[in-house]
């Protein structure tokens, strides 16, 4: 590619910027639909001492947490978001705390709690329709096992028992933690395959 000489100006240089609201309606709707199609990670925090509420928005008759942000931008984005089929469910937590959620089948529900907290989950609603789950797992608990497939198989069995979504579950993610590490803020782009190279101190357990 030829380089520009000093002082030369690139051709077809833009002199104006088109605001989003000035774009044609058809183009704006395409952009809204692309944004709505991005999967999200929804955190169900089970830590009773540090409950992380993540916003409330009135949707389908209830105040719900972590709703699709596009529902709250403007009429166009809301109309596009309402084209989705939502999964409605409720979590009954410690000391009478009740939390309502509305997620899509693309979203990953991150159950952020200990094993005992997860086993004691009290839920109602359409949890059977949830397709993707994420559960934290401490790697040192797996280091002494010869057959890791049985450990992950138990996670699948336990998750589908709690959520009653055996027929619909497509993916179960394990957020692997090392030692006393707290679950980090996770985004879709952070999800990676589980490999020995990521945990060299446990390499023998992979053989």
Q: From 64, 154, 169, 36, select the one nearest 108 (Cα to Cα).
A: 169
d(Cα 147, Cα 205) in Å, to the nearest integer?
9
The 10s digit of each residue's pLDDT in 156-188 is: 888 889 999 999 999 888 887 766 655 555 565
Residue length, the chain? 207
Q: Are 139 and 67 in contact (CB under 8 A)?
A: no
d(Cα 146, Cα 150) in Å, to the nearest integer?
9
Asked whether residue 10 carries a pLDDT value surpassing 80, the answer given is: no
d(Cα 47, Cα 117) in Å, to the nearest integer?
8
Asked whether residue 204 carries a pLDDT value surpassing 60, the answer given is: no
How confident is the model at residue 42, as a pLDDT? 94
Query: Domain map of the chain by residue range?
Result: 20-206
CA distances (Å), origin 187, targets 10, 23, 119, 122: 38, 30, 25, 26
Least confident of 26-35, 83-92, 134-143, 157-166: 134-143
- Band (pLDDT 50/70/90 cuts) for residue 206 is very low
- Band (pLDDT 50/70/90 cuts) for residue 7 is low
The 10s digit of each residue's pLDDT in 66-106 is: 999 999 999 999 999 999 999 999 999 877 888 999 999 99
């Amino acid at each position: 590619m030829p380089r520009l000489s000093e002082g030369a100006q690139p051709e077809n240089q833009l002199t104006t910027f088109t605001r989003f609201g000035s774009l044609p309606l058809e183009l704006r709707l395409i952009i809204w639909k692309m944004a709505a199609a991005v999967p999200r990670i929804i955190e169900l925090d089970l830590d009773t001492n540090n409950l992380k509420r993540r916003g409330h928005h009135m949707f389908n008759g209830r105040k719900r947490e972590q709703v699709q942000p596009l529902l709250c931008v403007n009429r166009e984005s809301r109309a596009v978001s309402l084209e989705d089929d939502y999964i409605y469910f409720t979590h009954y937590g410690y000391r009478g705390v009740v939390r309502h959620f509305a997620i899509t089948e693309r979203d990953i529900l991150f159950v952020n709690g200990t094993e005992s907290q997860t086993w004691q989950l009290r839920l109602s609603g359409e949890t059977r329709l949830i397709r993707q789950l994420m559960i934290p797992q401490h790697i040192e608990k797996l280091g002494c096992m010869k057959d890791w497939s049985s450990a992950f198989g138990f996670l699948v069995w336990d998750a589908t028992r709690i959520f009653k979504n055996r027929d619909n579950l497509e993916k179960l993610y394990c957020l692997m933690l090392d030692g006393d590490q707290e679950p980090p803020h996770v985004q879709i782009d952070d999800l990676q395959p589980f490999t020995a190279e990521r945990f060299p101190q446990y390499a023998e357990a992979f053989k």
